[in-house]
Structure 1
């Protein structure tokens, strides 16, 4: 277990991965290209986790009840775990059933597999192995049936459903067992191990009509700016789709004209972007506490169990942890899929605001339940699908001038800055082949040979 070893042992396991990860896998794994031996990925350095801003570390200490040393160690451990999990995901193929981190400093990485023969290879990577019944692909197929059923029979009594990788099953949150049973039956998945969590919570989107900071839509509803983005020569920002429809105008916190919603999707997804006028400039900044700012360096997706912090115009800067990805939420306005559930609190007006993990952009606030007095649950729209769907480039500290706009993921085999890559995707670069380890938008300085935390030579 990683949590029982010193940091030096964990680094040694990372260095040895290329030589060890496939040595004990069964013959069925032969189709998966073996990792190439090489230097330790150095994920913390690559994604900036080792240089976290003081504002983030202070908020993590407050909201996650950590010491200063634990907060710093947690970000480094989470970054390294993401790379190790990506390598094992590629090696295990269809047998991969999910990964998550745990412990106060996220020092314990667990990787689930459907084949006990993979245990030695997983442990050689410094992770704990969980042998389970269903692969991640099978679980997602079950959840997709719930998504389809929600289109036909959406009900407020079953507002949330998701893949729970830790429990190796699909979960339905409902106001009663009866409501959950009816939903499962309508989806045709009775007897497929779907779990039920009974809760009175009914998530709602977090826009409101109260004046304050951030930006206003058509002079009335208030939401929060997410991340600065660019498209060709147009600057703007990503935000929540439920905040405005295409063509809606926005004004800024200073009541000055700001921009126009260029594209918006809600429900199904909860994403939008606003193009701004020449009075506003895109920056990699995110508001933290006391008027201070943190900056984003990229959009590498955090694992389940990882720490995340959120900024919003109503409640400011708060932190928590990722509970699960690929969550579907039935709001009163319709169902939204592909969200990430967190323990971070939020309130009306925080919608559209940014979630960050270390120096990496994660997503924009969608909705939730509870508040920042008593605690609650908040969902965010992951940033990478938003960037890909709308053809946007995230404004970051690491993006070099002239970074090209994103391209169609299927349009070319060659690696390109600005394109959004999902774990498992393969590219060619400088005459070599690489496989993606973690979901992210490629930055101009993140070419595959220079970012072993994100790309594995095949």
Structure 2
């Protein structure tokens, strides 16, 4: 393999798009942390979805990183007084609270407080009852902080008897649970073909990282569990199911801290963080290249045929087979690793957890 092809592989950070998005005129505007192409793609996705102006979409991208950090900090500080957080339509932080005192604290910090009827503990108890139903392949369970509900998603490929048990359990829990029925099934996004290849399988290269002077690629665990030797180096770690992260030793000599955008340009990645509901995101992958969307849910359990994977990020960004392992990001902030898809949504392993598990740092 020549150095040019190696670079294309190791810069790949995958996840998904129905073709390459052409940057809009708004990409010329400066949005801190965003390359011109990613800004253009994200603005285009926002304007198409919401019918807002390029300027309004750009402003959402400018404020959302600070908003997500504020929402997380406030929720952590409030403890049992909060019931989740998210970004509103303008990219500003909203924190669900269960007491007036907590609402005052949120307001004093410059964020919006939303008084809700169900606490985080109550939602978690409802989710636990749904998770206790056995054999729930092709389903997922997540939290919708905007609606203050648990969301049970049942795909067509789920077993009818199991689906009936889940639906009955949800009915007993009342309006604490919303049931969404979707087409298809829940599948990990691995495929045969090119990109990073090994053992007849194809995945997408994830985030380039390092530890003690050695380069590694943090990728999907279902990829590294299935393939021992890739065309970029050997698999050295895998956690799947349960989690969906893995580690590949990168022996190519090329490991830039950038995501390929499939048109000769790249998006530098300078930090990692956890995703927030309502956050505008993009991802890149070897099958569908670059697309953008929004974070729909976090902390989602997805029941693949191989077993349950927990604490995933659910987004509207398109993914397809071969995109596994690719990167989810918001500008220069890395958020996740492509895990799978189902019912029109895509699922990502949080990257911060993977970095911590292997003791590696972003390049």
State the aligned residue count.
327
TM-score (norm 1): 0.66
Question: What CA RMSD, in Å, does the superposition of the two structures yield over aligned residues?
Answer: 2.6
**Counterpart position of 2:249:** 275
- The residue correspondences of 1:197-276 to structure 2 (distance < 5 A) are 197-209=180-192, 211-212=193-194, 214-218=195-199, 220-245=200-225, 248-251=228-231, 258-276=232-250
Residues 96-145 of structure 1: CA deviation (Å, up to 9, x unaligned): 11111122x42x43211011333333233333321112222442344344
Distance 1:51 1:245, change over 3 A: closer
Q: Quote the residue 2:327 is aligned against.
A: 354
What is aligned with 1:342? 315
TM-score, length of structure 2 as denominator length: 0.82
Choose the corresponding residue for 1:72, options 36, 58, 62.
Answer: 58
Q: For 1:245, what is the secondary structure of its paired residue?
A: helix
Matched, 1:133 2:113: no
Match of residue 318 from structure 1: 291
C-alpha displacement of 1:185: 6.2
Higher relative contact order (CA 8 A, sep 6+): 2
How far has the Cα of 1:263 moved from its partner?
0.5
What is the distance in 1 between the residues matched to 2:218 and 2:172?
36
Match 1:52 to one of 16, 34, 41: 34
Measure, in 1, the Cα distance between the counterparts of 2:225 and 2:288.
25
Larger gyration radius, structure 1 or structure 2: 1
Which range moved further: 126-135 or 329-338?
126-135
Q: 1:364 — aligned with what?
A: 337
Distance in 2 (CA, whole Å) between partners of 1:265 and 1:97 is 29
Instruction: Give the CA deviation at 1:74.
Output: 1.4
Structure 1 position 309, deviation (Å): 0.4
Where has structure 1 moved over 4 Å in runs of 4 or more? 175-181, 184-192
- 1:381 matched residue in structure 2: 349
**Displacement of 1:180:** 4.6
Q: What is the match of residue 13 of structure 2? A: none
Distance in 2, matches of 1:175 and 1:301, equals 27
Tell me by how many angstroms 1:61 deviates: 2.1
Q: Hey, what does 1:7 align to over in structure 2?
A: none
- Name the SS for the 1:237 alignment partner: strand
Q: How much does 1:199 deviate?
A: 1.9
Alpha carbons of structure 1 residues 142 and 61: separation in structure 2 relative to 1, 3 Å: same
Q: Is the Cα–Cα contact under 8 Å of residues 300 and 313 in structure 2 kept in the other structure?
A: yes
d(CA) in 2 for partners of 1:336, 1:207 = 15
Counterpart-to-counterpart distance in 2, 1:137 and 1:55 = 42
Q: Is the 8 A contact 1:308 1:356 kept in 2?
A: yes
Q: What's the offset of the Cα at 1:187?
A: 9.9
- Alignment partner, residue 102 of structure 1: 88
Q: Is the 1:172–1:180 Cα contact (8 Å) retained in structure 2?
A: no
The answer as to whether partners of 1:226 and 1:237 remain within 8 angstroms in 2 is yes
Q: Distance in 2 between matches of 1:190 and 1:73?
A: 40
